[in-house]
Amino acid sequence: MADAKVAPVVEEVKNCPACKKPLKKARRFYRNGAYYCNNNCFKKVQATAKAAAAEAAAEKSEKSDEQPQA
């Protein structure tokens, strides 16, 4: 019985990923697999993710330009 497999416990999100405020059940905003406190926080996270992706793409293209082609 000690070898019985236990399903992993998924902890409920208690804070908004954008502003770290505690989430209240009546005011949760669910988008893209996460709970936010409002639409503004969701848009803020989307904007930062988009900016990070653009920066990574620019860095990748810059790095490929530096390497000499044989």
**Could you read off the pLDDT tens digit of each residue along the chain, which spans 70 residues?**
566 787 787 777 689 989 999 988 888 889 988 899 999 999 999 999 999 999 999 888 877 766 665 5
In contact, 30 and 12? CB cutoff 8 Å: no
Distances (CA, A) of 23 to 9, 11, 47, 48: 20, 14, 21, 21
This prediction's pTM: 0.64
Domain ranges of the chain: 25-65
End-to-end CA distance of the chain: 63
Residue type present at position 37: C
Q: How many CB atoms sit inside 10 A of residue 56's CB?
A: 10
